[in-house]
């Protein structure tokens, strides 16, 4: 697969998507008639207060949940479940405690039918990419939170997805590890040329990583908004435009 071919793929279209949950017998609409186009290779962040449906949207995109109505198209094809062109990184690393780092990273490829030795050969490349080459033989219990999350990221990258779906991937990490990991995600996105869809509640993280930020409202009837982040990369958190942008986005949520 050439880079050119790959760069063209990974386009996501959301058409009239609605999803509601039953809460105490009452249906609660979390997503209502959402329309969205995500370009191939774009980096989109989804932010919003808790309960706004951002994780639900990501799970529908992942194919882990079916929408009540509407559809999701990936490269023009309708989504009906999980697919090979997508990989998900969860908030928790979700590593298998009985496998070492190398086998955990190769696990995704093994699930897709590759023999173990070939899966591990691919895995090694991505273990290096996330900077864990020395820890190939370590078991998850021996890793710190940040290292474990990097293993999870490497596992998702190893299957070479066109679309990388991230559900608050850095939410559980400490502040310092988080900053490092944001830099790493920016680098990985640039190097791997994937479509990146990131759910986060960290507004700075959204501005740092995304081309566009989708703001989902909590109030019923309010419409989701898309904000363009037109900042040069690599981005500097202390840049005046960056800071102004963060302030503007925080104001959206009533924070100052």
Write out the residues near other proteins by the rule CB under 8 A: 62, 64, 82-84, 86-88, 90, 92, 94, 96-99, 107-108, 110-112, 139-144, 159
In three-state secondary structure terms, 107 is: helix
Q: How far is the CB of 50 from other proteins (least distance, A)?
A: 19
Residue 83 or 217: the one with the smaller Cβ distance to other proteins is 83
Whole-number Å distance between alpha carbons of 128 and 5: 25
Q: How far is the CB of 230 from other proteins (least distance, A)?
A: 33
Residue 31 or 165: the one with the smaller Cβ distance to other proteins is 165
Q: How far is the CB of 167 from other proteins (least distance, A)?
A: 11
Whole-number Å distance between alpha carbons of 189 and 201: 19
Whole-number Å distance between alpha carbons of 243 and 170: 21
Of the candidates 13, 27, 12, 36, the residue with the CA atom closest to the CA atom of residue 224: 36
* φ, ψ dihedrals at 45, nearest 5°: -105, 140
Q: How far is the CB of 111 from other proteins (least distance, A)?
A: 4
What is each CA distance from 164 to 40, 51, 82, 83, in whole angstroms? 11, 22, 12, 12
């Amino acid at each position: 697969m050439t880079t050119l071919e790959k760069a063209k793929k990974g386009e996501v279209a959301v058409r009239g998507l609605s999803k509601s949950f039953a809460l105490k017998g009452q249906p609660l609409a979390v997503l209502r008639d959402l329309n969205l186009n995500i370009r191939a290779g774009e980096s989109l962040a989804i932010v919003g207060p808790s309960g706004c449906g951002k994780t639900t949207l990501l799970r529908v995109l992942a194919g882990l949940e079916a929408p009540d109505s509407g559809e999701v198209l990936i490269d023009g094809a309708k989504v009906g479940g999980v697919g090979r062109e997508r990989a998900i990184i969860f908030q928790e690393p979700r590593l298998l405690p009985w496998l070492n780092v190398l086998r955990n990273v190769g696990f995704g490829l093994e699930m897709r039918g590759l023999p173990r030795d070939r899966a591990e050969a691919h895995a090694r490349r991505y273990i290096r990419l996330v900077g864990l080459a020395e820890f190939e033989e370590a078991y998850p219990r021996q890793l710190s939170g940040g290292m474990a999350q990097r293993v999870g990221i490497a596992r998702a990258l190893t299957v070479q997805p066109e679309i990388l779906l991230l559900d608050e991937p850095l939410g559980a990490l400490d502040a310092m590890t988080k900053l490092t990991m944001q830099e790493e995600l920016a680098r990985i996105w640039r190097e791997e040329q994937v479509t990146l869809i990131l759910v986060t509640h960290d507004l700075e993280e959204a501005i740092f990583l995304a081309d566009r930020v989708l703001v989902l409202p909590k109030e019923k009837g309010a419409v989701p908004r898309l904000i363009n982040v037109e900042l040069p990369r690599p981005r500097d958190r202390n840049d005046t435009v960056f800071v102004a942008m963060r302030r503007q986005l925080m104001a959206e949520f009533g924070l100052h």
